[in-house]
Structure 1
Amino acid sequence: MTDLIAPTDRSRDLSQSLEHLGPDEALKADSDQLRGTIKTSLLDRLTGSVTPTDTKLMKFHGIYQQDDRDLRDERRRQKLEPAYQFMARVRLPGGVCTPAQWLKLDELARAYGQETLRLTTRQTFQFHWLLKHDLKATLQGLHEVLLDTIAACGDDSRGVMASVNPHLSALHAEVYRYARQASDHAIPRMPAYHEIWYGEERVASSEPEEPFYGRTYLPRKFKIGFAIPPINDIDVYAQDLGFIAIAERGKLAGFNVAIGGGMGRTDQASATYPRLADVIGFVEADKVLAVCDAVMGLQRDYGDRRDRSHARFKYTIDDRGLDWITAEIELRLGFGLQPARPFDFTANGDALGWQVGEDGRHHLTLFIENGRIANHPGRALMDFLRAVARIHTGSFRLTPNQNLIIAEIAPQARAGIKALLTEYGLGASKGESGLRLNSMACVALPTCGLAMAESERYLPHLLDKLEEILRSHDLTDEPITIRMSGCPNGCSRPYIAEIGLTGRAPGKYNLYLGGGFHGQRLNKMYLENVGETALLAALDKTLGHFAKERQEGERFGDFVIRAGYVAEVKAGRDFNA
Structure 2
Amino acid sequence: MDIIAKLRDIPLDELHPNERLKVESDYLRGTLEESLAELATGAVAEDDTQLTKFHGFYQQDDRDLRDERRHQKLEPLYSFMVRLRLPGGLVTPKQWQTLDDVASRYANGTLRITTRQTFQYHGVLKENLRPHLQTIHQAMVDTIAACGDVNRNVICTANPHRSAIHRQVYELSHQISARLLPRTRAYHEIFLGEERVAGGAQEREPDRSEPKAGSGQGALDPQEPLYTRHYLPRKFKVALAIPPENDVDLFAHDVGFIADVVAGELRGFTVCIGGGMGMTHGEPTTFPRLSDPIGYCSLAAVPAVAEAIMRVQRDNGNRRDRKRARLKYTVEEMGLDAFKAEVERHLGEALAPARDYHFDDNGDRLGWIQGDDGLWHYGLFVQNGRIADFPDGPQLRTGLREIAEQHDGDLVLTTNQNVIITQVDASRREAIDALLDRHRLGVETSPLRRNAMACVAFPTCGLAMAESERYLPSLIDKLDTVMGDAGLADDAIIVRMTGCPNGCARPYLAEIGFVGKAPGRYNLYLGGGFSGQRLNKLYRENIDETTILETLTPLIQRYAAEREADEPFGDFVIRIGVIKETTAGREFHGA
- What TM-score, normalized by structure 1, do the two folds share? 0.97
**Which stretch has the larger CA shift, 417-426 or 356-365?**
417-426
Query: What is the CA-CA distance between 1:424 and the residue it aligns to?
Result: 2.1
Instruction: Give the equivalent residue in structure 2 for 1:304.
Output: 318
1:491 aligns with 2:510: no
Alpha-carbon distance in 2 for matches of 1:32, 1:173: 38
Instruction: Give the equivalent residue in structure 2 for 1:157.
Output: 151
Alpha-carbon distance in 1 for matches of 2:429, 2:445: 24
Instruction: Give the equivalent residue in structure 2 for 1:558.
Output: 571
Query: What is the CA-CA distance between 1:330 and the residue it aligns to?
Result: 1.3
Residues 88-132 of structure 1: CA deviation (Å, up to 9, x unaligned): 000000111111110000000011222100000110000001100
1:423 aligns with 2:445: no
Residues 25-45 of structure 1: CA deviation (Å, up to 9, x unaligned): 001101111101111111111
- Give 3-state SS (helix, strand or coil) of 1:463's partner: helix
Letter in 2 for 1:115: G
Letter in 1 for 2:325: A
Matches within 5 A, 1:190-339: 190-205=184-199, 208-339=222-353
Letter in 1 for 2:182: P
Q: Is the 8 A contact 1:167 1:356 kept in 2?
A: no
**Which stretch has the larger CA shift, 167-176 or 564-573?**
167-176
Instruction: Give the equivalent residue in structure 2 for 1:454.
Output: 467
Letter in 2 for 1:106: D
Instruction: Give the equivalent residue in structure 1 for 2:20.
Output: 26
Instruction: Give the equivalent residue in structure 1 for 2:59.
Output: 65
Q: Is the 8 A contact 1:15 1:29 kept in 2?
A: no
Equivalenced residues, count: 568
Matches within 5 A, 1:374-385: 374-378=388-392, 379-385=394-400
Q: Is the 8 A contact 2:82 2:121 kept in 1?
A: yes
Letter in 1 for 2:62: D
Q: Is the 8 A contact 2:189 2:195 kept in 1?
A: yes
Alpha-carbon distance in 2 for matches of 1:271, 1:363: 44
Instruction: Give the equivalent residue in structure 2 for 1:541.
Output: 554
Matches within 5 A, 1:493-508: 493-508=506-521
Q: Is the 8 A contact 2:160 2:167 kept in 1?
A: no
Q: Is the 8 A contact 1:443 1:456 kept in 2?
A: yes
Instruction: Give the equivalent residue in structure 2 for 1:147.
Output: 141
Sort the Cα spacing of 1:331 and 1:308 in 2 relative to 1 into closer, same or farther, 3 A: same
**Which stretch has the larger CA shift, 515-524 or 156-165?**
156-165
Alpha-carbon distance in 2 for matches of 1:490, 1:289: 27
Q: Is the 8 A contact 1:349 1:401 kept in 2?
A: yes
Instruction: Give the equivalent residue in structure 2 for 1:442.
Output: 455
1:401 to 416, 424, 433: 416
Alpha-carbon distance in 2 for matches of 1:415, 1:469: 36
Instruction: Give the equivalent residue in structure 2 for 1:4.
Output: none
Residues 126-158 of structure 1: CA deviation (Å, up to 9, x unaligned): 000110000111100110011000000000000
Matches within 5 A, 1:362-373: 362-373=376-387
Letter in 1 for 2:472: L
Sort the Cα spacing of 1:74 and 1:16 in 2 relative to 1 into closer, same or farther, 3 A: farther
Q: Is the 8 A contact 2:158 2:412 kept in 1?
A: yes
Query: What is the CA-CA distance between 1:249 and the residue it aligns to?
Result: 1.0
Alpha-carbon distance in 2 for matches of 1:199, 1:341: 48
Instruction: Give the equivalent residue in structure 2 for 1:14.
Output: 7
- What TM-score, normalized by structure 2, do the two folds share? 0.94
Sort the Cα spacing of 1:136 and 1:248 in 2 relative to 1 into closer, same or farther, 3 A: same
Letter in 2 for 1:304: N
Instruction: Give the equivalent residue in structure 2 for 1:41.
Output: 35
1:341 aligns with 2:334: no
How large is the RMSD of aligned CA atoms in angstroms? Answer: 1.3
Query: What is the CA-CA distance between 1:412 and the residue it aligns to?
Result: 2.3
Q: Is the 8 A contact 1:163 1:172 kept in 2?
A: yes
Alpha-carbon distance in 2 for matches of 1:335, 1:505: 50
**Which stretch has the larger CA shift, 111-120 or 439-448?**
111-120
- Give 3-state SS (helix, strand or coil) of 1:365's partner: strand
Alpha-carbon distance in 1 for matches of 2:330, 2:390: 46
Matches within 5 A, 1:53-92: 53-92=47-86
Residues 155-188 of structure 1: CA deviation (Å, up to 9, x unaligned): 0000000002678411100110111110111111
Alpha-carbon distance in 2 for matches of 1:393, 1:16: 57
1:470 aligns with 2:470: no
Alpha-carbon distance in 2 for matches of 1:492, 1:425: 26
Alpha-carbon distance in 1 for matches of 2:407, 2:161: 19
2:180 to 186, 190, 213: 186
Instruction: Give the equivalent residue in structure 2 for 1:3.
Output: none
Sort the Cα spacing of 1:275 and 1:37 in 2 relative to 1 into closer, same or farther, 3 A: same
Q: Is the 8 A contact 1:256 1:282 kept in 2?
A: yes
Q: Is the 8 A contact 2:90 2:159 kept in 1?
A: no
Alpha-carbon distance in 2 for matches of 1:145, 1:265: 37
Letter in 1 for 2:334: R
Alpha-carbon distance in 1 for matches of 2:160, 2:488: 28
- Give 3-state SS (helix, strand or coil) of 1:164's partner: coil
Query: What is the CA-CA distance between 1:16 and the residue it aligns to?
Result: 7.5
Alpha-carbon distance in 2 for matches of 1:287, 1:545: 49
Query: What is the CA-CA distance between 1:190 and the residue it aligns to?
Result: 2.5
Sort the Cα spacing of 1:346 and 1:166 in 2 relative to 1 into closer, same or farther, 3 A: farther
The unaligned stretches of length 5 or more in structure 2 are 204-221
- Give 3-state SS (helix, strand or coil) of 1:128's partner: strand
Q: Is the 8 A contact 1:229 1:244 kept in 2?
A: yes
Sort the Cα spacing of 1:412 and 1:187 in 2 relative to 1 into closer, same or farther, 3 A: same
Alpha-carbon distance in 2 for matches of 1:263, 1:253: 30
Alpha-carbon distance in 1 for matches of 2:162, 2:528: 27
Letter in 2 for 1:555: P
Letter in 2 for 1:392: H
Instruction: Give the equivalent residue in structure 1 for 2:170.
Output: 176
The unaligned stretches of length 5 or more in structure 1 are 1-7
Letter in 2 for 1:329: V
Identical counterparts, % of pairs: 55
1:411 aligns with 2:392: no
Letter in 2 for 1:362: W
Q: Is the 8 A contact 1:167 1:355 kept in 2?
A: no
Sort the Cα spacing of 1:367 and 1:9 in 2 relative to 1 into closer, same or farther, 3 A: closer
Q: Which aligned runs of 4 or more in structure 1 are off by greater than 6 angstroms?
A: none
Instruction: Give the equivalent residue in structure 2 for 1:5.
Output: none
Letter in 1 for 2:466: A
- Give 3-state SS (helix, strand or coil) of 2:276's partner: coil
Q: Is the 8 A contact 1:90 1:148 kept in 2?
A: yes
Query: What is the CA-CA distance between 1:565 and the residue it aligns to?
Result: 1.1
Q: Is the 8 A contact 2:160 2:169 kept in 1?
A: no
